[in-house]
Chains A and B, each alone.
Chain A
Amino acid sequence: MQMVIDILSWVLLVAGGVFMVISAFGVNRMPDVYARLHAASVADTLGAGLLIAGMMLQAGPTLVTAKLVMILAILFFSSPVAGHALARAALVAGVRPHVDHPEESGEACGPEFNVEAIPHETVREDVKLIPSLGGRRPASRKAAAEPKTAKPKTSKPTRTAAKPARKPAKKG
């Protein structure tokens, strides 16, 4: 019985290590930040899950297993939150997804990156893009968002008067 548990634990630990290495390779090889998030999530789910399952088989029903379950639960809840926040922050900062065939991939992620396709709240008008991070507001945005004058955030007179130079010229 002990030998069966040992062999099973071996298999789980080695598989978890393989998935960790695969995830790290993916983070290095993927083309842009969204694809790298996809690769990084492999380590948080399969890598951590298999490694911790292997360790739980070695520990037996003790306090150590309870702590391992706690680590697994924290990872399973925190890594999607971190990934979502990262992807959303990259999108709001203006990092565009990389596509191989822009003409086939629809409106949402072509080279023009038609921001009308994503909800209006996602890329807000008052977001200050950071050019050193690759943030660049698409050109079609200004003409598309011009009729929508309901922008309560930027309508404060002190703020617009304080720094007119850094903002993208959206008022024309």
Chain B
Amino acid sequence: MFVAATLAILVSLVLLVVRALKGPTVFDRLVAANSIGTAAILLLAVVGFLTGRPEFLDIGITYALLNLIGTLAVLKYFRFGDLAHSGGEEPED
């Protein structure tokens, strides 16, 4: 049964990669990247069950934490062109 779930997650990953490559704006790519992160977490968990190694779940927790921070960091970078910017003012070139 884990094989079916793994195949479904792999199919959704392929579709999301297509959107991440095609996306007209950077926000489309980020939506796809965020969903790719979620699918990677679930793929790690399911493959861990499939191969009988539930230690993969720890890596999944780390991915889940990094996914949000990565999305926010990329958004901030494309908004301000700078990650150290405070966000309240306009960036200075």
Contacts and interface: CB of A to CB of B under 8 A. Distances in A.
A86 B31 contact: yes
Given A23-B35, A36-B28, A71-B60, A82 B8 contact: no
B90 A159 contact: yes
A48 B61 contact: no
Contacts of B72: 81-82, 85
Interface residues of B, number: 52
Interface string B63-92: 011011001100100110000000011111
A20 to B, nearest CB: 4
A24 B15 contact: yes
A44 B54 contact: no
Interface in A48-85: 48, 51-52, 54-55, 58-59, 64, 67-68, 70-71, 74-75, 78-79, 81-83, 85
A21 B38 contact: no
Interface in B8-41: 8-9, 11-16, 18-19, 24-28, 30-32, 34-35, 38-39, 41
A55 B49 contact: yes
Interface in A27-42: 27-28, 33, 36-37, 40
A123 interface: no
Contact of B11 (A24, A44, A89, A163): A24
A42 B35 CA distance: 10
Contact of B19 (A36, A71, A92, A154): A36
Contacts of A37: 31
B61 A86 contact: no
Interface of B: 1-2, 4-5, 7-9, 11-16, 18-19, 24-28, 30-32, 34-35, 38-39, 41-42, 45-46, 49, 54, 57-58, 60-61, 64-65, 67-68, 71-72, 75, 78-79, 88-93
Interface of A: 6, 9-10, 13-14, 16-18, 20-21, 23-25, 27-28, 33, 36-37, 40, 43-44, 47-48, 51-52, 54-55, 58-59, 64, 67-68, 70-71, 74-75, 78-79, 81-83, 85-86, 89-90, 92-93, 95, 126-128, 130, 133-134, 153-154, 159, 162-163
